[in-house]
Chain A
């Protein structure tokens, strides 16, 4: 039973449940206390001290974000002492912080800058020298600028606790403290999987994706180049946030319209290769099931997850589907099938993909991703970069009219769209598997057991009398739990979907900030809304998919598929 606690904040009496923090209690009566390091359920360590308030009888000021109320507590949030202390702490943070706000990646959505404004900081005292630390740009996905780091540790908590990757931690001490990798090498030489969850929670410009906008502009401006863009399922429910829409707004049509205005020769839908993935992966699963191959089969769409399993659980590599991710399938198909069909020199095709993900940049850079004979995907943009591209191009979002994806890859099914949410790949696979195995039409398409933001979801599905146990995990800490369970035989599944990011791609490291549980929920709901609204909701019903098999691939797991759509994995050092 939860007890009620009577407290007073700034003289106003209120009753809150036991376990409530001062911060939460203040919010209930409409008082917002500034916070910086605090990230609910993830980073509750009270280190930045900008949220201190005065509590009667306490020797010192207390951090409101983690101090739980006690009976009779009398709190003053705006006493001269508390205000002076908060202002000075903020000033101490700002003293050594670079002042290049105008050109910073976070110009416009910097939490630190917003907070400084809200706290009325109009002068930075102390005249301390600005931090000048080396940039880590060792990898294709994430850039770390430690000079802009304010040591809030959100990234460290996410990497260690949510993702259990522990690529970064605190190094050195005192004023020399920085966030870094073991031996302070670049992320490229660390176990980092480039999921970008750290980028997603960073309040400043210390962690950003590697910008590829310049390359994309160069290609767009090159008259010799045929520039195509593919947009991932999870982008259409989040891009709007970059352009002033409410979270959960579905902007598919507008996005296509805007990208056409930006100047892409073709705007394609990654849903097409999501459907193709289901065809290949579904058949791979059936093959393993009937031929007693290695089970469970584990999905391979999430490049962060793929690097994770290569690094931490190489013993499971044979369980991972050999299917490339939809992004890479698309790249390979465009520079082969599409080039042949439309008689375009593949050397002149420039493929861009818009992804909710930072690991996709790493994936496109993997040396083996050139089965078309060229680099399959030339540039990867995150949702945030895509928003910026539209803004940079001067496209007035408000006036953009809906447009349709280009053919032949403009056709996607609901199954492809739900790839964006955790559980979506599994549900899409089950829809197709059911019909392929039973030969009967599936009436109820909604496999609700695998939906939602919960970390690990399990379900049982009976097909032709055989019960299949499936599991869905999102967030690598949950993936770890599943793998450990499989390893010590406590768990036993036939088919497992794993996404590196909490919530799946809708919570990806390349998505608009902030990516809170609430925004993720709204994006997730939007993917299922979009799915429901489509005439075709099963991958094998996609006419473009049927056509490519007829014209080019011949059959799932066939020779061409093997060459263009499948890949292999490499164990990596931690």
Chain B
């Protein structure tokens, strides 16, 4: 094996790839050759580091220097200065937002300081297309331990004792679920991984699939051993081509090394994995719909019971968990349930990966110990709100979740506290909203999403969400009526208690949560025909303040619909009937003479 004196890790997660990391890598290889360093320094393509805001990310080892927003033009400097002359390039390091000092090392950056990366342990460190790198980091030791030292029952007990709960949203205790599938009678059983990540803004699972696919494979194989299944399916959305490619490579390599296939570790245990590409229906994240889709049927949920543990794929006992859940398993088996259960809160153990998006400075993936507060995630890890605007709320749990207002920011994150607050853990999407967000419009947005993604099978979800959406649309257009709030509430409660599956039962949550915390905004829309955040265009108007307008004509020139008129050097006017409320005039005005009401 060739020994290199240094390694350059170039992130090849989807985020960094789209900001140009492929070019950076190519340039890096070119420059290393130009400086004749190709035998000394190795370039490694890794999975996601999570700090997508700062991509493309390049890390140089052994020093562990963290470069961000690297462009291909910067590569020559890194090679010449850092790799050849040993002088790290300061200007490409992360700049602390408060102290404005350059932070050379990964772990010293605020974004990473409060994280606890268990699931994401390998993401960004190893080449996901090389199984040996996973093994070098302790990979497949847990599978070996389970197969050679533990009975299936002991594996289940260990997972139960760890307190691991399903990371896909519901939070059902994983060990218990495995126990049901183990107890179910059947000549054939299946392990299924739900990788149909569909919440807007969520990409935790994609990162694991792209950055550390073996963590999933190992977890699934352990689950297979525990429940008595010899075959597994990974249901992954077709919109994740890189994840699918890396999974295929990983499965092939695991087979080659005997870590999948027949008689693994000479234990007599056989396990094989198939990939099923989903076609992008949100509802296929519901386990029975997912199973129907694998079987080639219309992706629709069915009534449970029977639960998949008894009657799953092709009628056989099946265990469905999501990617992050499986990715936790090998660490639990390797380090023991006690270690895992020592982290987190009383009822929510371990860590959770969140996708931090919206109006937050550091967007990206953050894995934190359960029990951390939302404030710590948003302000310490996330760096606070863009442009230092005022925080308004955070949507947690995607379209099925709810919003959490400022007064609850110190809520420790766990499954139960979030449900109590009217939200849910969901798969871990965090959409941060600032003062410029209209909460009625937010509810409309999410309801529009679930309404479109409803499979149409049961009445409440199919018909009810459409009626709710119609009401919300009316309200945001200024056509809200007395009684709309009560009707929304009443519909929401009925849909919640009568819909067939989780999608329908949780669809009204964004409305209920916004009604709970921001009822005044609904009332302002309905009674005063006013959008307090100034978002709903039908309820907003732009006005030119006569005393401030200098008559420069800039606004009139930029207006796309010629709604602004006036003579040069005299105050201008906006014709509200023509105005399309695009806001271009306000942005253009140098004298702050245009206001939005």
User: CA–CA, A52 to B466, complex, Å?
Assistant: 21
Other-chain residue from B455, B457, B462, B498 in contact with A85 (beta carbon distance below 8 A) = B498
Other-chain residue from A60, A170, A173 in contact with B454 (beta carbon distance below 8 A) = A173
Judged by a CB distance under 8 angstroms, whether B69 is at the interface is no
User: CA–CA, A50 to B470, complex, Å?
Assistant: 23
Name the A residues within 8 Å of B498 (CB-CB): 49, 52, 60-61, 85, 89
User: CA–CA, A169 to B458, complex, Å?
Assistant: 15
Name the A residues within 8 Å of B466 (CB-CB): 128, 174-175
A158-182 CB contacts (< 8 Å) to partner B: 169-170, 172-177
A125 to chain B, nearest CB (A): 8
Given contacts A45-B302, A60-B505, A174-B451, contact A93 B459 (CB under 8 A): yes
CB pair A93 B496 closer than 8 Å: no
Given contacts A46-B303, A60-B505, A96-B463, contact A85 B454 (CB under 8 A): no
Judged by a CB distance under 8 angstroms, whether A476 is at the interface is no
Interface size on A, residues (CB 8 A): 32
CB pair B494 A175 closer than 8 Å: no
Interface residues as binary, A39-60 with B (CB distance below 8 Å gives 1, 0 otherwise): 0000001111110100000001
B448-499 CB contacts (< 8 Å) to partner A: 451-460, 462-467, 470, 487, 490-491, 494, 496-499
B52 to chain A, nearest CB (A): 31
Judged by a CB distance under 8 angstroms, whether A424 is at the interface is no
Given contacts A63-B303, A85-B494, A88-B494, contact A175 B457 (CB under 8 A): no
CB pair B467 A170 closer than 8 Å: no
CB pair A89 B455 closer than 8 Å: no
Judged by a CB distance under 8 angstroms, whether A232 is at the interface is no
CB pair A128 B460 closer than 8 Å: no
Judged by a CB distance under 8 angstroms, whether B298 is at the interface is yes
CB pair A92 B451 closer than 8 Å: no
Given contacts A151-B456, A172-B456, A174-B452, contact A84 B494 (CB under 8 A): yes
A129-177 CB contacts (< 8 Å) to partner B: 151, 169-170, 172-177
CB pair B497 A81 closer than 8 Å: yes
Name the B residues within 8 Å of A96 (CB-CB): 463
Judged by a CB distance under 8 angstroms, whether B41 is at the interface is no
A380 to chain B, nearest CB (A): 35
Judged by a CB distance under 8 angstroms, whether B281 is at the interface is yes
B511 to chain A, nearest CB (A): 15
Judged by a CB distance under 8 angstroms, whether A95 is at the interface is yes
B306 to chain A, nearest CB (A): 10
Given contacts A49-B458, A60-B505, A126-B467, contact A174 B453 (CB under 8 A): yes
* Majority SS at the chain B contact face: helix
Other-chain residue from B283, B456, B464, B505 in contact with A92 (beta carbon distance below 8 A) = B464
Total A-B contacts with CB atoms under 8 angstroms apart: 95
Residue from B283, B458, B499 with most neighbouring chain A CB atoms (10 Å): B458
CB pair A128 B470 closer than 8 Å: yes
Interface residues as binary, B554-578 with A (CB distance below 8 Å gives 1, 0 otherwise): 0000000000000000000000000
User: CA–CA, A151 to B466, complex, Å?
Assistant: 15
B260 to chain A, nearest CB (A): 35
Name the B residues within 8 Å of A61 (CB-CB): 497-498
Name the A residues within 8 Å of B89 (CB-CB): none
Name the B residues within 8 Å of A320 (CB-CB): none
User: CA–CA, A50 to B281, complex, Å?
Assistant: 26
Closest to B305 in A: A68
Judged by a CB distance under 8 angstroms, whether A364 is at the interface is no
Name the A residues within 8 Å of B300 (CB-CB): 170
CB pair A60 B496 closer than 8 Å: yes
Name the A residues within 8 Å of B281 (CB-CB): 173
Interface residues as binary, A85-105 with B (CB distance below 8 Å gives 1, 0 otherwise): 100110011011000000000
User: CA–CA, A304 to B588, complex, Å?
Assistant: 72
Closest to A172 in B: B456
B486-519 CB contacts (< 8 Å) to partner A: 487, 490-491, 494, 496-500, 505
Interface set of A (CB-CB < 8 Å, partner B): 45-50, 52, 60-61, 63, 66, 81, 84-85, 88-89, 92-93, 95-96, 125-126, 128, 151, 169-170, 172-177
Sample of 24 A–B contacts (CB below 8 Å):
A45-B302, A49-B460, A49-B499, A52-B497, A60-B499, A61-B497, A63-B303, A81-B497, A85-B497, A88-B494, A89-B460, A89-B494, A128-B470, A173-B456, A174-B451, A174-B452, A174-B462, A174-B465, A175-B454, A176-B456, A177-B455, A177-B456, A177-B457, A177-B462
Contacts A49-B500, A88-B494, A151-B459 aside, 18 further interface pairs with beta carbons under 8 A come to: A45-B302, A46-B303, A47-B459, A49-B459, A49-B498, A52-B497, A60-B499, A84-B494, A85-B497, A89-B494, A92-B467, A93-B459, A93-B463, A125-B487, A151-B462, A170-B456, A174-B455, A175-B456
Q: Which 8 A-B pairs have the closest CB atoms?
A: A177-B456, A174-B454, A92-B463, A175-B466, A88-B494, A46-B303, A60-B497, A49-B498
